[in-house]
Protein backbone atom coordinates (compact mmCIF):
# COMPACT_ATOMS: atom_id res chain seq x y z
CA UNK A 1 0.00 0.00 0.00
CA UNK A 2 3.02 2.28 0.39
CA UNK A 3 3.01 3.11 -3.33
CA UNK A 4 -0.59 4.33 -3.06
CA UNK A 5 0.07 6.96 -0.38
CA UNK A 6 0.77 9.91 -2.76
CA UNK A 7 -2.31 9.00 -4.81
CA UNK A 8 -4.49 8.75 -1.70
CA UNK A 9 -3.32 12.18 -0.55
CA UNK A 10 -3.93 13.52 -4.06
CA UNK A 11 -7.51 12.21 -4.27
CA UNK A 12 -8.35 13.22 -0.66
CA UNK A 13 -7.19 16.80 -1.30
CA UNK A 14 -9.33 16.94 -4.44
CA UNK A 15 -12.21 15.47 -2.42
CA UNK A 16 -11.89 18.19 0.24
CA UNK A 17 -11.98 20.85 -2.48
CA UNK A 18 -15.05 19.14 -3.94
CA UNK A 19 -16.77 19.22 -0.53
CA UNK A 20 -15.97 22.92 -0.08
CA UNK A 21 -17.17 23.65 -3.61
CA UNK A 22 -20.38 21.68 -3.15
CA UNK A 23 -21.36 23.42 0.10
CA UNK A 24 -20.26 26.95 -0.88
CA UNK A 25 -22.86 29.51 -1.90
CA UNK A 26 -20.32 32.16 -2.86
CA UNK A 27 -19.41 31.86 -6.56
CA UNK A 28 -15.90 33.17 -5.84
CA UNK A 29 -15.29 30.19 -3.52
CA UNK A 30 -16.47 27.80 -6.22
CA UNK A 31 -14.17 29.47 -8.72
CA UNK A 32 -11.17 29.38 -6.38
CA UNK A 33 -11.65 25.71 -5.49
CA UNK A 34 -12.03 24.85 -9.17
CA UNK A 35 -8.81 26.68 -10.07
CA UNK A 36 -6.99 25.06 -7.13
CA UNK A 37 -8.15 21.58 -8.18
CA UNK A 38 -7.08 22.20 -11.78
CA UNK A 39 -3.60 23.36 -10.70
CA UNK A 40 -3.16 20.42 -8.30
CA UNK A 41 -3.98 17.92 -11.04
CA UNK A 42 -1.69 19.74 -13.48
CA UNK A 43 1.14 19.67 -10.95
CA UNK A 44 0.60 16.02 -9.96
CA UNK A 45 0.29 14.62 -13.48
CA UNK A 46 2.10 17.21 -15.56
CA UNK A 47 5.39 16.90 -13.66
CA UNK A 48 5.19 13.15 -13.08
CA UNK A 49 8.16 10.90 -13.63
CA UNK A 50 8.15 7.62 -15.52
CA UNK A 51 5.05 5.98 -14.04
CA UNK A 52 3.33 2.70 -14.93
CA UNK A 53 4.34 1.07 -18.25
CA UNK A 54 3.63 2.90 -21.51
CA UNK A 55 6.45 5.44 -21.11
CA UNK A 56 8.68 2.54 -22.20
CA UNK A 57 7.21 3.07 -25.68
CA UNK A 58 6.50 6.80 -25.58
CA UNK A 59 10.00 7.89 -24.51
CA UNK A 60 11.81 6.27 -27.48
CA UNK A 61 9.01 7.46 -29.78
CA UNK A 62 9.54 11.06 -28.69
CA UNK A 63 13.28 10.73 -29.24
CA UNK A 64 12.93 9.53 -32.86
CA UNK A 65 9.83 11.49 -33.86
CA UNK A 66 10.42 13.71 -36.90
CA UNK A 67 8.70 14.66 -40.16
CA UNK A 68 9.78 11.42 -41.84
CA UNK A 69 8.18 9.45 -39.03
CA UNK A 70 4.88 11.21 -39.78
CA UNK A 71 5.24 10.90 -43.56
CA UNK A 72 5.86 7.15 -43.32
CA UNK A 73 2.69 6.51 -41.29
CA UNK A 74 0.15 3.99 -42.55
CA UNK A 75 -2.56 2.14 -40.63
CA UNK A 76 -0.45 -1.04 -40.74
CA UNK A 77 2.95 0.58 -40.16
CA UNK A 78 2.87 0.19 -36.38
CA UNK A 79 3.65 3.88 -35.96
CA UNK A 80 1.64 6.24 -33.79
CA UNK A 81 -1.20 8.19 -35.42
CA UNK A 82 -0.22 11.39 -37.29
CA UNK A 83 -2.14 13.82 -35.05
CA UNK A 84 -0.37 12.59 -31.93
CA UNK A 85 2.99 12.46 -33.74
CA UNK A 86 2.56 16.02 -35.03
CA UNK A 87 1.65 17.17 -31.53
CA UNK A 88 4.82 15.52 -30.16
CA UNK A 89 6.91 17.10 -32.93
CA UNK A 90 5.51 20.57 -32.15
CA UNK A 91 6.41 20.13 -28.48
CA UNK A 92 9.84 18.87 -29.48
CA UNK A 93 10.43 21.92 -31.67
CA UNK A 94 9.67 24.20 -28.72
CA UNK A 95 11.75 22.32 -26.16
CA UNK A 96 13.37 18.98 -26.88
CA UNK A 97 12.58 17.30 -23.59
CA UNK A 98 10.25 14.36 -22.95
CA UNK A 99 9.00 15.74 -19.63
CA UNK A 100 8.08 19.03 -21.32
CA UNK A 101 6.06 17.00 -23.83
CA UNK A 102 4.29 15.19 -20.96
CA UNK A 103 3.48 18.51 -19.26
CA UNK A 104 2.03 20.08 -22.40
CA UNK A 105 0.04 16.94 -23.17
CA UNK A 106 -1.36 16.97 -19.61
CA UNK A 107 -2.25 20.66 -19.90
CA UNK A 108 -4.08 20.18 -23.21
CA UNK A 109 -5.99 17.19 -21.85
CA UNK A 110 -6.99 19.07 -18.70
CA UNK A 111 -8.23 22.03 -20.73
CA UNK A 112 -10.33 19.67 -22.87
CA UNK A 113 -11.66 18.00 -19.71
CA UNK A 114 -12.40 21.33 -18.03
CA UNK A 115 -14.32 22.57 -21.08
CA UNK A 116 -16.36 19.35 -21.00
CA UNK A 117 -17.08 19.47 -17.26
CA UNK A 118 -17.91 23.14 -16.89
CA UNK A 119 -20.92 22.77 -19.20
CA UNK A 120 -22.33 19.94 -17.12
CA UNK A 121 -21.45 20.48 -13.47
CA UNK A 122 -20.85 23.35 -11.08
CA UNK A 123 -18.55 21.19 -8.96
CA UNK A 124 -15.40 20.96 -11.07
CA UNK A 125 -13.27 19.41 -8.27
CA UNK A 126 -15.76 16.55 -7.94
CA UNK A 127 -15.67 16.05 -11.70
CA UNK A 128 -11.87 15.82 -11.51
CA UNK A 129 -12.11 13.28 -8.67
CA UNK A 130 -14.43 11.04 -10.69
CA UNK A 131 -12.29 11.47 -13.80
CA UNK A 132 -9.21 10.32 -11.88
CA UNK A 133 -10.98 7.40 -10.20
CA UNK A 134 -12.82 6.14 -13.28
CA UNK A 135 -9.88 5.43 -15.58
CA UNK A 136 -8.67 9.02 -15.91
CA UNK A 137 -5.49 8.40 -13.91
CA UNK A 138 -4.45 5.45 -16.07
CA UNK A 139 -5.63 7.17 -19.25
CA UNK A 140 -3.48 10.20 -18.41
CA UNK A 141 -0.39 8.28 -17.37
CA UNK A 142 -0.44 5.20 -19.56
CA UNK A 143 -2.73 5.78 -22.55
CA UNK A 144 -1.73 9.22 -23.75
CA UNK A 145 -3.10 8.85 -27.27
CA UNK A 146 -6.38 7.30 -26.14
CA UNK A 147 -6.92 9.94 -23.47
CA UNK A 148 -6.69 12.82 -25.93
CA UNK A 149 -8.98 11.06 -28.42
CA UNK A 150 -11.59 10.43 -25.71
CA UNK A 151 -11.47 14.01 -24.42
CA UNK A 152 -11.77 15.45 -27.92
CA UNK A 153 -14.87 13.30 -28.37
CA UNK A 154 -16.27 14.47 -25.03
CA UNK A 155 -16.28 17.98 -26.47
CA UNK A 156 -18.00 16.70 -29.61
CA UNK A 157 -21.01 15.55 -27.57
CA UNK A 158 -22.29 19.14 -27.56
CA UNK A 159 -22.90 18.84 -31.29
CA UNK A 160 -25.07 15.75 -30.84
CA UNK A 161 -27.20 17.81 -28.46
CA UNK A 162 -27.33 20.67 -30.99
CA UNK A 163 -27.90 18.35 -33.99
CA UNK A 164 -24.84 19.74 -35.79
CA UNK A 165 -23.24 16.83 -37.67
CA UNK A 166 -20.41 18.69 -39.43
CA UNK A 167 -18.49 19.88 -36.35
CA UNK A 168 -19.28 16.56 -34.65
CA UNK A 169 -17.73 14.45 -37.40
CA UNK A 170 -14.82 16.91 -37.75
CA UNK A 171 -13.93 16.40 -34.08
CA UNK A 172 -14.32 12.63 -34.43
CA UNK A 173 -11.89 12.63 -37.35
CA UNK A 174 -9.48 14.75 -35.29
CA UNK A 175 -9.79 12.23 -32.43
CA UNK A 176 -8.93 9.44 -34.89
CA UNK A 177 -5.63 11.16 -35.70
CA UNK A 178 -4.69 10.60 -32.04
CA UNK A 179 -6.03 7.04 -31.73
CA UNK A 180 -7.77 4.97 -34.38
CA UNK A 181 -10.20 3.41 -31.91
CA UNK A 182 -12.05 6.74 -32.11
CA UNK A 183 -13.53 5.44 -35.38
CA UNK A 184 -16.20 3.86 -33.20
CA UNK A 185 -17.46 7.35 -32.38
CA UNK A 186 -18.58 8.05 -35.96
CA UNK A 187 -21.91 6.14 -35.79
CA UNK A 188 -22.52 7.38 -32.24
CA UNK A 189 -24.01 10.59 -33.63
CA UNK A 190 -27.08 8.53 -34.50
CA UNK A 191 -26.97 6.04 -31.59
CA UNK A 192 -26.36 8.13 -28.50
CA UNK A 193 -29.25 10.52 -29.09
CA UNK A 194 -31.92 7.77 -29.19
CA UNK A 195 -34.43 8.17 -26.35
CA UNK A 196 -34.86 4.64 -25.05
CA UNK A 197 -37.46 3.45 -22.56
CA UNK A 198 -36.14 2.66 -19.07
CA UNK A 199 -37.25 -0.96 -19.47
CA UNK A 200 -35.31 -1.30 -22.72
CA UNK A 201 -32.31 0.01 -20.79
CA UNK A 202 -32.94 -2.59 -18.07
CA UNK A 203 -33.37 -5.39 -20.63
CA UNK A 204 -30.06 -4.60 -22.35
CA UNK A 205 -28.32 -4.30 -18.99
CA UNK A 206 -29.65 -7.67 -17.79
CA UNK A 207 -28.93 -9.46 -21.08
CA UNK A 208 -25.27 -8.45 -21.02
CA UNK A 209 -24.96 -9.37 -17.35
CA UNK A 210 -26.25 -12.85 -18.21
CA UNK A 211 -23.76 -13.08 -21.09
CA UNK A 212 -20.99 -12.10 -18.68
CA UNK A 213 -21.99 -14.42 -15.83
CA UNK A 214 -22.58 -17.44 -18.09
CA UNK A 215 -19.43 -16.66 -20.09
CA UNK A 216 -21.25 -16.83 -23.43
CA UNK A 217 -18.66 -16.21 -26.19
CA UNK A 218 -20.75 -13.94 -28.40
CA UNK A 219 -17.72 -12.34 -30.07
CA UNK A 220 -16.19 -15.69 -30.99
CA UNK A 221 -19.52 -16.86 -32.37
CA UNK A 222 -19.85 -13.68 -34.41
CA UNK A 223 -16.32 -14.02 -35.78
CA UNK A 224 -16.94 -17.66 -36.64
CA UNK A 225 -20.19 -16.86 -38.44
CA UNK A 226 -18.32 -14.26 -40.50
CA UNK A 227 -15.63 -16.79 -41.37
CA UNK A 228 -12.92 -14.85 -39.55
CA UNK A 229 -11.83 -17.74 -37.33
CA UNK A 230 -9.87 -20.52 -39.02
CA UNK A 231 -6.85 -22.73 -38.35
CA UNK A 232 -4.50 -19.80 -38.93
CA UNK A 233 -6.19 -17.48 -36.43
CA UNK A 234 -7.56 -19.87 -33.80
CA UNK A 235 -4.34 -19.95 -31.77
CA UNK A 236 -4.08 -16.19 -31.56
CA UNK A 237 -7.75 -15.78 -30.71
CA UNK A 238 -7.54 -18.40 -27.94
CA UNK A 239 -4.50 -16.64 -26.49
CA UNK A 240 -6.58 -13.51 -26.02
CA UNK A 241 -9.65 -15.31 -24.68
CA UNK A 242 -7.61 -17.14 -22.07
CA UNK A 243 -6.69 -13.83 -20.47
CA UNK A 244 -10.12 -13.62 -18.96
CA UNK A 245 -10.19 -17.16 -17.59
CA UNK A 246 -7.59 -16.23 -14.99
CA UNK A 247 -9.67 -13.44 -13.46
CA UNK A 248 -12.67 -13.73 -11.20
CA UNK A 249 -16.19 -12.84 -12.21
CA UNK A 250 -17.15 -11.36 -8.86
CA UNK A 251 -14.64 -8.50 -8.89
CA UNK A 252 -14.90 -5.01 -7.43
CA UNK A 253 -15.17 -3.69 -11.00
CA UNK A 254 -18.15 -5.92 -11.76
CA UNK A 255 -19.92 -5.02 -8.51
CA UNK A 256 -19.40 -1.34 -9.30
CA UNK A 257 -20.92 -1.78 -12.77
CA UNK A 258 -23.81 -3.72 -11.25
CA UNK A 259 -24.43 -0.97 -8.69
CA UNK A 260 -24.21 1.77 -11.30
CA UNK A 261 -26.55 -0.01 -13.70
CA UNK A 262 -29.17 -0.62 -11.01
CA UNK A 263 -29.11 2.84 -9.44
CA UNK A 264 -29.29 4.54 -12.85
CA UNK A 265 -32.36 2.43 -13.62
CA UNK A 266 -33.94 3.42 -10.30
CA UNK A 267 -33.42 7.12 -11.05
CA UNK A 268 -33.70 6.85 -14.83
CA UNK A 269 -36.58 9.33 -15.21
CA UNK A 270 -35.15 11.72 -12.64
CA UNK A 271 -31.79 11.81 -14.41
CA UNK A 272 -33.48 12.72 -17.70
CA UNK A 273 -35.50 15.41 -15.92
CA UNK A 274 -32.33 17.03 -14.59
CA UNK A 275 -31.18 17.77 -18.14
CA UNK A 276 -32.09 16.53 -21.56
CA UNK A 277 -28.52 15.62 -22.55
CA UNK A 278 -28.50 12.84 -19.95
CA UNK A 279 -30.07 10.77 -22.71
CA UNK A 280 -26.60 10.77 -24.26
CA UNK A 281 -24.86 9.84 -21.02
CA UNK A 282 -27.27 7.03 -20.17
CA UNK A 283 -26.81 5.59 -23.66
CA UNK A 284 -23.05 5.98 -23.25
CA UNK A 285 -23.26 4.08 -19.97
CA UNK A 286 -25.03 1.27 -21.80
CA UNK A 287 -22.13 1.17 -24.25
CA UNK A 288 -19.79 0.68 -21.27
CA UNK A 289 -21.87 -2.31 -20.17
CA UNK A 290 -22.08 -3.75 -23.70
CA UNK A 291 -18.30 -3.71 -24.16
CA UNK A 292 -17.22 -4.48 -20.58
CA UNK A 293 -19.66 -7.37 -20.15
CA UNK A 294 -20.36 -8.58 -23.67
CA UNK A 295 -16.73 -8.56 -24.87
CA UNK A 296 -15.24 -9.91 -21.63
CA UNK A 297 -13.81 -12.97 -23.43
CA UNK A 298 -11.27 -10.49 -24.85
CA UNK A 299 -10.19 -8.77 -21.65
CA UNK A 300 -7.91 -6.07 -23.06
CA UNK A 301 -10.21 -5.23 -25.95
CA UNK A 302 -13.28 -5.03 -23.68
CA UNK A 303 -11.51 -2.62 -21.34
CA UNK A 304 -10.25 -0.41 -24.14
CA UNK A 305 -13.67 -0.21 -25.82
CA UNK A 306 -15.51 0.35 -22.53
CA UNK A 307 -13.08 3.17 -21.68
CA UNK A 308 -14.17 5.01 -24.82
CA UNK A 309 -17.47 5.71 -23.03
CA UNK A 310 -16.25 5.96 -19.43
CA UNK A 311 -17.02 9.70 -19.44
CA UNK A 312 -20.63 8.73 -18.67
CA UNK A 313 -19.52 7.84 -15.13
CA UNK A 314 -17.97 11.28 -14.59
CA UNK A 315 -21.33 12.95 -15.21
CA UNK A 316 -23.94 10.45 -14.01
CA UNK A 317 -22.31 9.78 -10.64
CA UNK A 318 -22.43 13.54 -9.96
CA UNK A 319 -26.01 13.90 -11.16
CA UNK A 320 -27.13 11.02 -8.95
CA UNK A 321 -26.39 13.21 -5.91
CA UNK A 322 -29.21 15.51 -7.00
CA UNK A 323 -31.65 12.61 -7.46
CA UNK A 324 -32.06 11.68 -3.80
CA UNK A 325 -35.12 13.20 -2.16
CA UNK A 326 -34.03 12.56 1.44
CA UNK A 327 -30.94 14.34 2.75
CA UNK A 328 -29.88 11.23 4.68
CA UNK A 329 -29.81 9.15 1.50
CA UNK A 330 -27.81 11.85 -0.23
CA UNK A 331 -25.22 11.89 2.56
CA UNK A 332 -25.06 8.09 2.53
CA UNK A 333 -24.43 8.10 -1.23
CA UNK A 334 -21.70 10.75 -0.89
CA UNK A 335 -20.05 8.71 1.87
CA UNK A 336 -20.15 5.62 -0.35
CA UNK A 337 -18.66 7.52 -3.30
CA UNK A 338 -15.90 8.95 -1.08
CA UNK A 339 -14.93 5.55 0.31
CA UNK A 340 -15.11 3.85 -3.07
CA UNK A 341 -12.93 6.52 -4.69
CA UNK A 342 -10.19 5.97 -2.09
CA UNK A 343 -10.40 2.17 -2.40
CA UNK A 344 -10.32 2.30 -6.18
CA UNK A 345 -7.35 4.67 -6.30
CA UNK A 346 -5.49 2.28 -3.98
CA UNK A 347 -6.26 -0.63 -6.29
CA UNK A 348 -5.03 1.36 -9.28
CA UNK A 349 -1.77 2.58 -7.78
CA UNK A 350 -0.62 -0.13 -5.38
CA UNK A 351 2.36 -1.48 -7.31
CA UNK A 352 6.01 -0.57 -7.70
CA UNK A 353 5.57 0.67 -11.28
CA UNK A 354 3.29 3.41 -9.92
CA UNK A 355 5.88 4.55 -7.35
CA UNK A 356 5.28 8.30 -7.67
CA UNK A 357 8.03 10.82 -8.23
CA UNK A 358 8.04 14.35 -9.59
CA UNK A 359 10.58 15.89 -11.97
CA UNK A 360 10.61 19.12 -9.93
CA UNK A 361 11.93 17.23 -6.91
CA UNK A 362 14.27 14.77 -8.57
CA UNK A 363 12.54 11.95 -10.44
CA UNK A 364 14.32 8.71 -11.26
CA UNK A 365 16.03 8.65 -14.63
CA UNK A 366 14.84 6.68 -17.64
CA UNK A 367 17.56 4.07 -17.07
CA UNK A 368 16.62 3.62 -13.39
CA UNK A 369 12.95 3.24 -14.20
CA UNK A 370 13.71 0.87 -17.07
CA UNK A 371 15.67 -1.34 -14.67
CA UNK A 372 12.71 -1.41 -12.24
CA UNK A 373 10.33 -2.06 -15.13
CA UNK A 374 12.36 -5.00 -16.45
CA UNK A 375 12.64 -6.55 -12.99
CA UNK A 376 8.93 -6.38 -12.33
CA UNK A 377 7.33 -7.29 -15.68
CA UNK A 378 7.32 -10.43 -17.74
Structural domain spans, the chain: 194-323
Residue range 103-114, pLDDT digits in tens: 999 999 999 999
pTM reported for the whole predicted model: 0.92
Q: What is the DSSP letter of 48?
A: B
pLDDT at 240: 47
With residues binned 3-state (H G I as helix, E B as strand, rest as coil), the percentages for the chain, rounded to 5, are: 75, 0, 25
Residue range 280-335, pLDDT digits in tens: 999 999 999 999 998 877 778 888 999 999 999 999 999 999 999 889 999 999 99
Contact 345, 132 (CB under 8 A): yes
The alpha carbon dihedral of 253, 257, 263, 267 has a sign of: positive
Across residues 148-177, what is the average pLDDT? 97
Instruction: Give the C-alpha separation, 366 to 242, whole Å.
Output: 33
Q: What is the DSSP letter of 356?
A: -
pLDDT at 73: 85
Contact 311, 116 (CB under 8 A): yes
Q: How far is CA 332 from CA 44, 203, 314, 317, 327, in A?
A: 30, 28, 19, 14, 9
Residue range 328-370, pLDDT digits in tens: 999 999 999 999 999 999 999 999 999 999 999 988 999 999 9
How many CB atoms are closer than 10 A to CB 323?
20
Those residues with Cβ within 8 angstroms of residue 73's Cβ, 6 or more apart along the chain or in another chain: 79, 80, 81, 82, 85
pLDDT at 216: 80
Instruction: Give the C-alpha separation, 310 to 323, whole Å.
Output: 21
Average pLDDT along the chain: 90
Half-sphere exposure for 7 (CA within 13 Å, toward CB): 26
Contact 352, 7 (CB under 8 A): no
Amino acid sequence: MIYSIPYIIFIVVLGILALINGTAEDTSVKRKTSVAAFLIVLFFLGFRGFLSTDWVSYYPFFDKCDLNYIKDYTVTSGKYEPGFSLFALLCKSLFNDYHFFVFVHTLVNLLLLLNFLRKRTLNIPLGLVLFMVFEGLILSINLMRNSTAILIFCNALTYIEQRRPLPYFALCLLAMTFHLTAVIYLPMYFILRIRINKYIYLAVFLIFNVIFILDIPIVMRLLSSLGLVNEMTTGKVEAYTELFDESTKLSIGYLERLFTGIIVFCYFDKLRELRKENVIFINSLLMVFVFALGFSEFLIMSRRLANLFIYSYWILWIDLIRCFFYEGNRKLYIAFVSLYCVLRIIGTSNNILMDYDNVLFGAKSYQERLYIFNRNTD
